[in-house]
Structure 1
Amino acid sequence: MKKIVVFCLLASFMLSCGSKKAVTKKKSTSRTKTEQVVTKNDPRNNSGEEVVNGVEVRITSTDEYIALFRSIAQEEMRLYGIPASITLAQGILESNSGKGRLAIEANNHFGIKCHDWTGDKIYHDDDASQECFRKYNDSKYSYRDHSLFLTQRSRYAALFKLKKEDYKGWARELRNAGYATDRKYPEKLISLIDRYRLHQYDKEVLGDVYVKYEDEIGDFSMYYVERGDTMYSISKKFNISVDELKAVNKLSSTSLSVGQKLRIDKNSKEKAAVASNQQTSIKTVKENRFHIVEKGETLYSISKQYDMTVSELQKINGLKDNALNVGQELQVKPAN
């Protein structure tokens, strides 16, 4: 009996060790999940709050958004050269003034997708279902990542050749470089900047440089070349010569590219208006001196309109009879 008992105890001990080894082996082969994803169970999902400079806040308006992020955008401008007005306008547009899901749940204000991102992530329906977006612990890091995103990609290099004061040029070049597929993206950014006067934050950073830029463009407006434009068509639109247009913009040829910025003398619009008025005056004078024959009209009916006799009309116009043609031009008053 003692031998049997000892044998049972040994067997039980060996089975216990084997079980532990199996568990250990199974545990060691499991894969550690490094990707963190925000789910519907996230406690901030329904709070409507996001983190700004370490503080949870609830943003209810665009004005509040600007007040919270303008200093952050200005600091990014000082460090990376991106106009604060552009950064703020993009943040407002992409995050719905901080009220969008990506902003609230992931502190992502610019809709930047994962790409080569190794940090936390969130999945969100965008161009496709459940696309991967970057997730930040604080909204200020979203602003920093936006600066790095633009400065470290070669396709955005043309942006940094523009003046920092030229927010309209920046808005258009962002679209040209492929930041957004929306054709109206530049106009939306420009509209936000103008509406909320976001360019004032660029001016605060640049100081005298911005004032000099204002003086430089004071007598000029900017025209951005559109598809189908030629130097000739633009010159006609603003009533200036091709040579004047080239001289003002320091161009050596008439070649243009879509999105190219051209300086236009503001006075050219006034010149165009004057020229238009002159053409109207000439037309009016001509209409007073000439009559275009319409269907059903006769020399007699036309003579009555201008208090003339048929003989006078015939004499002035060198007519030998009363025959008229529709569209025929008749002089109704002697030229001065």
Structure 2
Amino acid sequence: MKRLFTVVSLLVLSEFSAQTWANDDQYIQKFAQYAVEEMEKYKIPASITLAQGLLETGGGQSRLAQEGKNHFGIKCKEEWTGKTMKHTDDAPNECFRVYDDPRQSYEDHSVFLATRKYYANLFNLDMKDYKAWAHGLKKAGYATNPRYAGILISKIEKYRLYEFDQVNSKEVNFAILKMYPGLKDDQAYMASLESSKAVEKKKVSKPAPAPKKVYAEAPKKERVKTKSEILNSILIKSHPNGGLKYVVIPEDTDIQFIAGKFKISEEKLMKWNELETNQLNKNEIIFLESKNSDGNTAIYKAEYSEDMHDIAQKFGIKLNKLYAKNRMDEGQKPSAGQLIYLIAKKPRN
């Protein structure tokens, strides 16, 4: 009951108009409880989990966090059977997991680290050594940003997140009050703690009544767009790799339609996109100009069933250049989890 009370207390925090904290502070107050609970279950430092959440969500403000309750940017992967959403990250139109609430995202993040062989060595580290964990995550390929470890360490030290590595799930609220002592003088906040405690006692002692049936009017059905209307609504987008112009095909069609719509010859489109057939499938990426020789990030882990053409389109790289960077023969397929180089490795001196 104490743990539940603490969660409720922290969630209430952001609702008071008297508070003027920045997004990062609000995020810490809301989600420190989850990070500590995950630390107890999976032995992942709470400071690391919170810092990753802060970074990935921009203090809880990212589209993935707001719409998908996804706080760690975890992509679908082959084993995911839950809800999904499309989002542009390193490449356009990537598939990301969608959760019912942030707690599921925190749990899935722990499972993700604990069950993948790339991260196995992390669990040999001291759970209170956040610096070793930060560098270990970068070395294991969790992120492509070369400064990733330093950014995590900076956030942990700026907000003293290492203090959460020293507490258990029943002590999180006291750690919050220690970090933000001004809360003790906030009568509204302190009153909310007592109120929440009373509410939780009542819930335990007296079962909630059965919900009343509500009969609502059936929602009006929206008119379904025709395939032609969907295709004609295609908009040109800018790719993260240098702003290349591209489109995502919303319905199955052919190259002739795209050529006619954007006034580009079929030959050029076939060449720029290394196409072997003029048939285009839904969600396929098609570039409207020649792709680049390098990617916008250094390396990428191939996903299940992806081929080199899929990766070339995802990152806006010429297919022959991608084969060359990875010393692979034309037509050779990568295995799931294989590191694919998107920028040529510098020769050693």
Kindly name which structure, 1 or 2, has the bigger radius of gyration based on alpha carbons: 1
Report 1 or 2 for greater relative contact order, CA contacts < 8 Å, sequence distance ≥ 6. 2
For the aligned pair, the TM-score class normalised by the smaller chain equals: 0.3 to 0.5
TM-score, structure 1 normalization: 0.44
TM-score, structure 2 normalization: 0.42
